[in-house]
Protein backbone atom coordinates (compact mmCIF):
# COMPACT_ATOMS: atom_id res chain seq x y z
CA UNK A 1 0.00 0.00 0.00
CA UNK A 2 1.22 3.49 -0.86
CA UNK A 3 0.05 6.52 1.15
CA UNK A 4 0.63 10.24 1.05
CA UNK A 5 1.41 11.09 4.66
CA UNK A 6 0.46 14.72 5.40
CA UNK A 7 2.08 16.08 8.56
CA UNK A 8 0.20 18.06 11.19
CA UNK A 9 1.60 21.48 10.33
CA UNK A 10 2.60 22.03 13.96
CA UNK A 11 6.07 21.31 15.29
CA UNK A 12 5.24 20.31 18.88
CA UNK A 13 3.49 17.24 20.35
CA UNK A 14 1.42 16.54 17.23
CA UNK A 15 4.71 16.29 15.32
CA UNK A 16 5.74 13.56 17.80
CA UNK A 17 2.51 11.71 17.04
CA UNK A 18 3.20 11.97 13.31
CA UNK A 19 6.78 10.75 13.72
CA UNK A 20 5.63 7.74 15.72
CA UNK A 21 2.87 6.76 13.31
CA UNK A 22 5.14 7.24 10.30
CA UNK A 23 7.72 4.92 11.89
CA UNK A 24 4.99 2.35 12.50
CA UNK A 25 3.76 2.46 8.91
CA UNK A 26 7.27 2.10 7.52
CA UNK A 27 8.02 -0.71 9.94
CA UNK A 28 5.10 -2.70 8.52
CA UNK A 29 6.17 -2.18 4.93
CA UNK A 30 3.96 0.63 3.68
CA UNK A 31 5.34 2.99 1.07
CA UNK A 32 5.08 6.43 2.66
CA UNK A 33 5.30 9.63 0.62
CA UNK A 34 5.83 12.41 3.12
CA UNK A 35 4.29 15.88 2.83
CA UNK A 36 5.90 18.13 5.44
CA UNK A 37 3.13 20.64 6.02
CA UNK A 38 4.95 22.53 8.82
CA UNK A 39 7.90 23.40 6.56
CA UNK A 40 5.56 24.38 3.75
CA UNK A 41 3.55 26.66 6.04
CA UNK A 42 6.73 28.47 7.09
CA UNK A 43 7.83 28.82 3.47
CA UNK A 44 4.41 30.00 2.27
CA UNK A 45 4.21 32.56 5.06
CA UNK A 46 7.57 34.05 4.10
CA UNK A 47 6.84 34.01 0.38
CA UNK A 48 3.39 35.60 0.62
CA UNK A 49 4.46 38.37 3.00
CA UNK A 50 7.56 39.12 0.95
CA UNK A 51 5.52 39.56 -2.22
CA UNK A 52 2.81 41.50 -0.40
CA UNK A 53 5.39 44.00 0.86
CA UNK A 54 6.81 44.38 -2.64
CA UNK A 55 3.39 44.79 -4.24
CA UNK A 56 2.31 47.32 -1.61
CA UNK A 57 4.91 49.79 -2.86
CA UNK A 58 2.95 50.29 -6.06
CA UNK A 59 -0.48 49.16 -4.86
CA UNK A 60 -1.00 50.39 -1.27
CA UNK A 61 -4.53 48.99 -1.08
CA UNK A 62 -3.56 45.39 -1.78
CA UNK A 63 -4.91 43.02 0.86
CA UNK A 64 -2.49 41.57 3.38
CA UNK A 65 -2.23 37.75 3.26
CA UNK A 66 -4.23 36.06 6.01
CA UNK A 67 -3.93 32.67 7.68
CA UNK A 68 -6.28 31.03 5.18
CA UNK A 69 -4.09 32.24 2.29
CA UNK A 70 -0.99 30.79 3.92
CA UNK A 71 -2.58 27.44 4.74
CA UNK A 72 -4.10 27.08 1.29
CA UNK A 73 -0.81 27.69 -0.50
CA UNK A 74 1.04 25.42 1.93
CA UNK A 75 -1.39 22.55 1.45
CA UNK A 76 -2.50 22.70 -2.17
CA UNK A 77 0.48 20.76 -3.55
CA UNK A 78 -0.58 17.76 -1.48
CA UNK A 79 -3.19 17.13 -4.19
CA UNK A 80 -0.54 17.15 -6.92
CA UNK A 81 1.74 14.88 -4.88
CA UNK A 82 -1.03 12.37 -4.27
CA UNK A 83 -1.93 12.24 -7.97
CA UNK A 84 1.69 12.15 -9.15
CA UNK A 85 2.57 9.22 -6.90
CA UNK A 86 -0.77 7.48 -7.55
CA UNK A 87 -1.25 6.74 -3.87
CA UNK A 88 -3.85 4.36 -2.54
CA UNK A 89 -4.83 6.78 0.21
CA UNK A 90 -4.03 10.14 1.76
CA UNK A 91 -3.40 9.94 5.50
CA UNK A 92 -3.44 13.23 7.39
CA UNK A 93 -2.32 13.74 10.98
CA UNK A 94 -4.44 16.34 12.83
CA UNK A 95 -5.68 18.28 9.74
CA UNK A 96 -6.12 21.43 11.81
CA UNK A 97 -3.63 23.25 9.55
CA UNK A 98 -4.64 21.65 6.27
CA UNK A 99 -7.00 23.97 4.40
CA UNK A 100 -10.36 22.17 3.95
CA UNK A 101 -10.49 23.19 0.28
CA UNK A 102 -7.50 20.91 -0.31
CA UNK A 103 -9.47 17.97 1.08
CA UNK A 104 -12.48 18.91 -1.05
CA UNK A 105 -10.31 18.92 -4.18
CA UNK A 106 -8.76 15.58 -3.23
CA UNK A 107 -12.22 14.07 -2.98
CA UNK A 108 -13.23 15.55 -6.33
CA UNK A 109 -10.15 13.91 -7.82
CA UNK A 110 -11.28 10.54 -6.49
CA UNK A 111 -8.68 10.23 -3.74
CA UNK A 112 -9.41 8.40 -0.49
CA UNK A 113 -8.68 10.68 2.46
CA UNK A 114 -8.29 9.61 6.09
CA UNK A 115 -7.41 11.67 9.17
CA UNK A 116 -5.99 10.86 12.58
CA UNK A 117 -7.46 13.60 14.77
CA UNK A 118 -5.17 14.50 17.67
CA UNK A 119 -6.91 17.47 19.30
CA UNK A 120 -10.07 15.90 20.72
CA UNK A 121 -11.96 17.08 22.69
CA UNK A 122 -10.33 20.53 22.65
CA UNK A 123 -11.02 21.30 18.97
CA UNK A 124 -13.88 18.86 18.52
CA UNK A 125 -16.15 21.17 16.50
CA UNK A 126 -13.40 21.90 13.97
CA UNK A 127 -12.50 18.23 13.76
CA UNK A 128 -16.11 17.20 13.17
CA UNK A 129 -16.37 19.68 10.31
CA UNK A 130 -13.40 17.98 8.63
CA UNK A 131 -14.68 14.48 9.46
CA UNK A 132 -17.75 15.13 7.31
CA UNK A 133 -15.53 15.55 4.23
CA UNK A 134 -13.39 12.42 4.42
CA UNK A 135 -13.59 8.64 3.99
CA UNK A 136 -12.65 7.68 7.53
CA UNK A 137 -10.94 8.86 10.68
CA UNK A 138 -9.67 8.08 14.15
CA UNK A 139 -9.77 10.24 17.27
CA UNK A 140 -7.34 10.26 20.20
CA UNK A 141 -10.19 10.69 22.73
CA UNK A 142 -12.53 7.75 23.23
CA UNK A 143 -15.35 9.86 24.72
CA UNK A 144 -15.50 11.71 21.37
CA UNK A 145 -16.01 8.63 19.19
CA UNK A 146 -19.81 8.81 19.27
CA UNK A 147 -19.75 12.42 18.07
CA UNK A 148 -17.51 11.47 15.16
CA UNK A 149 -19.69 8.52 14.19
CA UNK A 150 -22.69 10.82 13.92
CA UNK A 151 -20.99 12.65 11.04
CA UNK A 152 -18.81 9.83 9.67
CA UNK A 153 -19.70 6.17 10.28
CA UNK A 154 -16.11 5.14 9.54
CA UNK A 155 -14.71 6.63 12.75
CA UNK A 156 -12.73 4.86 15.43
CA UNK A 157 -10.62 5.32 18.53
CA UNK A 158 -6.84 5.23 18.20
CA UNK A 159 -5.09 5.81 21.53
CA UNK A 160 -1.81 7.68 21.66
CA UNK A 161 1.42 5.69 21.89
CA UNK A 162 5.20 5.78 22.28
CA UNK A 163 8.04 5.72 19.74
CA UNK A 164 10.12 2.54 19.75
CA UNK A 165 13.30 4.36 18.70
CA UNK A 166 13.01 7.17 21.24
CA UNK A 167 11.32 5.91 24.39
CA UNK A 168 13.40 3.27 26.11
CA UNK A 169 13.87 2.48 29.80
CA UNK A 170 17.24 2.67 31.50
CA UNK A 171 20.15 5.05 30.87
CA UNK A 172 20.81 5.77 27.20
CA UNK A 173 24.16 6.93 25.71
CA UNK A 174 23.27 10.63 25.36
CA UNK A 175 21.24 11.03 28.57
CA UNK A 176 24.12 12.53 30.55
CA UNK A 177 24.11 15.55 28.26
CA UNK A 178 20.88 16.71 29.88
CA UNK A 179 20.13 18.14 33.35
CA UNK A 180 18.88 15.99 36.19
CA UNK A 181 15.85 17.43 38.01
CA UNK A 182 13.91 16.45 41.09
CA UNK A 183 10.72 17.16 39.16
CA UNK A 184 10.35 17.73 35.41
CA UNK A 185 7.43 18.86 33.28
CA UNK A 186 7.45 19.13 29.48
CA UNK A 187 4.51 20.81 27.79
CA UNK A 188 2.86 24.04 26.72
CA UNK A 189 1.95 26.77 29.19
CA UNK A 190 -1.82 26.54 29.17
CA UNK A 191 -3.35 28.81 31.78
CA UNK A 192 -4.53 26.00 34.07
CA UNK A 193 -1.02 24.54 34.14
CA UNK A 194 0.42 27.91 35.12
CA UNK A 195 -2.17 28.19 37.91
CA UNK A 196 -1.40 24.68 39.16
CA UNK A 197 2.35 25.03 39.25
CA UNK A 198 2.23 28.54 40.67
CA UNK A 199 0.15 27.27 43.61
CA UNK A 200 2.80 24.72 44.65
CA UNK A 201 5.59 25.49 47.10
CA UNK A 202 8.79 24.56 45.25
CA UNK A 203 11.16 25.36 48.09
CA UNK A 204 13.99 22.85 48.10
CA UNK A 205 12.81 21.16 44.87
CA UNK A 206 14.77 21.37 41.63
CA UNK A 207 11.97 21.88 39.10
CA UNK A 208 12.58 21.87 35.35
CA UNK A 209 9.96 23.38 33.03
CA UNK A 210 10.45 22.74 29.32
CA UNK A 211 8.45 23.93 26.37
CA UNK A 212 6.94 27.28 25.32
CA UNK A 213 6.65 29.05 28.69
CA UNK A 214 6.61 32.76 27.82
CA UNK A 215 6.40 34.11 31.36
CA UNK A 216 7.25 37.60 32.59
CA UNK A 217 10.66 38.01 34.18
CA UNK A 218 9.10 38.51 37.63
CA UNK A 219 6.75 35.52 37.40
CA UNK A 220 7.40 33.06 40.27
CA UNK A 221 7.80 30.18 37.81
CA UNK A 222 10.27 32.01 35.57
CA UNK A 223 13.40 30.66 37.37
CA UNK A 224 12.31 27.10 36.58
CA UNK A 225 11.90 27.61 32.81
CA UNK A 226 14.84 25.88 31.16
CA UNK A 227 14.31 25.59 27.40
CA UNK A 228 11.54 26.34 24.94
CA UNK A 229 12.99 24.23 22.12
CA UNK A 230 12.89 20.54 22.99
CA UNK A 231 12.32 17.51 20.80
CA UNK A 232 11.01 14.09 21.73
CA UNK A 233 14.44 12.49 22.16
CA UNK A 234 15.52 15.22 24.61
CA UNK A 235 12.22 14.89 26.43
CA UNK A 236 12.81 11.17 26.89
CA UNK A 237 16.28 11.84 28.32
CA UNK A 238 14.87 14.35 30.80
CA UNK A 239 12.21 11.85 31.89
CA UNK A 240 14.77 9.13 32.50
CA UNK A 241 17.05 11.42 34.53
CA UNK A 242 14.35 13.05 36.68
CA UNK A 243 13.28 11.66 40.02
CA UNK A 244 9.63 12.55 39.38
CA UNK A 245 7.87 13.35 36.14
CA UNK A 246 4.68 15.42 36.07
CA UNK A 247 1.82 14.87 33.65
CA UNK A 248 -0.71 17.69 33.76
CA UNK A 249 -3.66 17.18 31.43
CA UNK A 250 -4.81 20.33 29.74
CA UNK A 251 -8.37 21.56 29.93
CA UNK A 252 -8.05 24.83 27.98
CA UNK A 253 -9.56 25.01 24.52
CA UNK A 254 -6.83 27.34 23.35
CA UNK A 255 -4.42 29.72 25.00
CA UNK A 256 -5.12 32.64 27.28
CA UNK A 257 -6.47 33.12 30.77
CA UNK A 258 -10.07 33.33 29.57
CA UNK A 259 -10.03 30.46 27.08
CA UNK A 260 -13.03 28.13 27.49
CA UNK A 261 -12.33 24.76 29.08
CA UNK A 262 -13.51 21.22 28.50
CA UNK A 263 -15.51 19.53 31.23
CA UNK A 264 -14.63 15.90 30.56
CA UNK A 265 -12.06 13.64 28.87
CA UNK A 266 -11.02 10.03 29.41
CA UNK A 267 -7.95 9.21 27.36
CA UNK A 268 -4.24 9.27 28.05
CA UNK A 269 -2.14 11.92 26.36
CA UNK A 270 1.12 11.10 24.50
CA UNK A 271 3.26 12.01 27.53
CA UNK A 272 1.59 9.34 29.67
CA UNK A 273 2.73 6.62 27.28
CA UNK A 274 6.17 8.16 26.79
CA UNK A 275 6.88 8.52 30.51
CA UNK A 276 5.89 4.92 31.14
CA UNK A 277 7.85 3.55 28.17
CA UNK A 278 10.94 5.36 29.49
CA UNK A 279 10.47 3.72 32.88
CA UNK A 280 10.02 7.14 34.46
CA UNK A 281 8.19 7.41 37.76
CA UNK A 282 5.53 10.10 37.43
CA UNK A 283 2.51 11.72 39.00
CA UNK A 284 -0.56 12.76 37.08
CA UNK A 285 -3.81 14.61 37.17
CA UNK A 286 -6.63 12.09 36.97
CA UNK A 287 -8.39 10.59 33.95
CA UNK A 288 -10.21 7.25 33.72
CA UNK A 289 -7.54 5.67 31.50
CA UNK A 290 -4.81 6.48 34.01
CA UNK A 291 -6.31 3.98 36.43
CA UNK A 292 -7.24 1.51 33.70
CA UNK A 293 -3.77 1.36 32.15
CA UNK A 294 -1.55 1.84 35.19
CA UNK A 295 -3.67 0.74 38.14
CA UNK A 296 -2.06 2.32 41.20
CA UNK A 297 1.40 2.69 39.65
CA UNK A 298 0.77 6.32 38.66
CA UNK A 299 -0.39 8.29 41.72
CA UNK A 300 -2.97 10.92 40.82
CA UNK A 301 -4.00 14.19 42.39
CA UNK A 302 -6.84 16.67 42.07
CA UNK A 303 -5.43 19.77 43.79
CA UNK A 304 -2.04 21.50 43.93
CA UNK A 305 -1.82 20.70 47.65
CA UNK A 306 -2.26 16.99 46.92
CA UNK A 307 0.36 17.21 44.18
CA UNK A 308 2.82 18.92 46.50
CA UNK A 309 2.33 16.32 49.22
CA UNK A 310 2.75 13.44 46.76
CA UNK A 311 5.89 14.93 45.27
CA UNK A 312 7.59 15.38 48.61
CA UNK A 313 6.56 11.91 49.77
CA UNK A 314 7.92 10.19 46.68
CA UNK A 315 11.05 12.33 46.42
CA UNK A 316 11.99 10.99 49.84
CA UNK A 317 11.41 7.36 48.81
CA UNK A 318 14.14 6.35 46.34
CA UNK A 319 13.45 2.63 46.63
CA UNK A 320 9.71 3.08 46.20
CA UNK A 321 10.13 5.20 43.07
CA UNK A 322 12.55 2.73 41.52
CA UNK A 323 10.23 -0.19 42.23
CA UNK A 324 7.27 1.54 40.58
CA UNK A 325 9.33 2.80 37.64
CA UNK A 326 10.54 -0.70 36.84
CA UNK A 327 6.94 -1.86 36.39
CA UNK A 328 5.75 0.94 34.10
CA UNK A 329 7.17 -0.18 30.72
CA UNK A 330 5.20 -3.44 30.93
CA UNK A 331 1.96 -1.46 31.29
CA UNK A 332 2.43 0.03 27.82
CA UNK A 333 4.40 -2.78 26.16
CA UNK A 334 1.68 -3.27 23.53
CA UNK A 335 1.04 0.45 23.05
CA UNK A 336 3.88 1.49 20.74
CA UNK A 337 3.20 3.35 17.50
CA UNK A 338 4.29 0.23 15.65
CA UNK A 339 1.43 -1.62 17.32
CA UNK A 340 -1.02 1.23 16.72
CA UNK A 341 -0.02 1.28 13.05
CA UNK A 342 -1.48 -2.21 12.61
CA UNK A 343 -4.91 -0.80 13.48
CA UNK A 344 -4.49 2.02 10.98
CA UNK A 345 -3.32 -0.32 8.24
CA UNK A 346 -6.11 -2.79 8.90
CA UNK A 347 -8.77 -0.08 8.84
CA UNK A 348 -7.35 1.41 5.64
CA UNK A 349 -7.33 -1.96 3.90
CA UNK A 350 -10.89 -2.72 4.97
CA UNK A 351 -12.28 0.63 3.86
CA UNK A 352 -10.35 0.72 0.58
CA UNK A 353 -11.52 -2.79 -0.30
CA UNK A 354 -15.07 -1.85 0.57
CA UNK A 355 -14.90 1.25 -1.64
CA UNK A 356 -13.42 -0.76 -4.49
CA UNK A 357 -16.21 -3.34 -4.24
The tens digit of pLDDT for each residue in 50-104 reads 999 999 999 999 999 999 999 999 999 999 999 999 999 999 999 999 999 999 9
- 326 CA to centre of own chain: 25
**What's the confidence (pLDDT) of residue 24?**
98
The phi, psi pair for 331, rounded to 5°, reads -65, -30
The partner residues of 155 in beta bridges, in order of sequence, read 137
Local confidence band at 11 (pLDDT 50, 70, 90 cut-offs) = confident
- The Cα 108–Cα 112 span in angstroms is 10
**What's the confidence (pLDDT) of residue 114?**
98
Those residues with Cβ within 8 angstroms of residue 256's Cβ, 6 or more apart along the chain or in another chain: 191
Are the beta carbons of 307 and 313 closer than 8 angstroms? no
Domains of the chain: 2-161+336-356 (3.40.50.2000), 175-331 (3.40.50.2000)
* C-alpha torsion 268→269→272→275, nearest 10: 160
Local confidence band at 21 (pLDDT 50, 70, 90 cut-offs) = very high
**What's the confidence (pLDDT) of residue 228?**
75
Residue 254, pLDDT > 90, answer: no
**What's the confidence (pLDDT) of residue 355?**
79
The residue-averaged pLDDT of 196-206 equals 95
Are the beta carbons of 87 and 2 closer than 8 angstroms? yes
pTM above 0.85, yes or no: yes
**What's the confidence (pLDDT) of residue 7?**
97
Of 227 and 180, which is predicted with more confidence?
Answer: 180
Please give the C-alpha separations between residue 177 and each of 180, 237, 242, 245, 343, in angstroms, as whole numbers.
10, 9, 13, 18, 36
pLDDT tens figures, 292-329 = 999 999 999 999 999 999 999 999 999 999 999 999 99
Among 45-49, 89-93, 170-174, 352-356, which is the least confidently predicted range? 352-356
- The Cα 353–Cα 349 span in angstroms is 6
The residue-averaged pLDDT of 184-209 equals 94
- The Cα 65–Cα 59 span in angstroms is 14
pLDDT tens figures, 288-301 = 999 999 999 999 99
Please give the C-alpha separations between residue 124 and each of 31, 77, 310, 318, in angstroms, as whole numbers.
30, 26, 33, 41
**What's the confidence (pLDDT) of residue 128?**
98
Amino acid sequence: MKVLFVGPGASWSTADVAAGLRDGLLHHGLQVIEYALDARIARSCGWLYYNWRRAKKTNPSIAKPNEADILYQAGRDALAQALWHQVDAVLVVSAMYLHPDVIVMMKRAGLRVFVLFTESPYDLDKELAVAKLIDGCWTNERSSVSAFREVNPHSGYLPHAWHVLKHRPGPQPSDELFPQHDVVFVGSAFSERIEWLKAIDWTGINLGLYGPWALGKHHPLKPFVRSAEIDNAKTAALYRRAKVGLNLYRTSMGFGKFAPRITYAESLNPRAYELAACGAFHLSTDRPEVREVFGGLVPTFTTPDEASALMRTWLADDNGRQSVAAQLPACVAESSWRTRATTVIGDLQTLLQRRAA
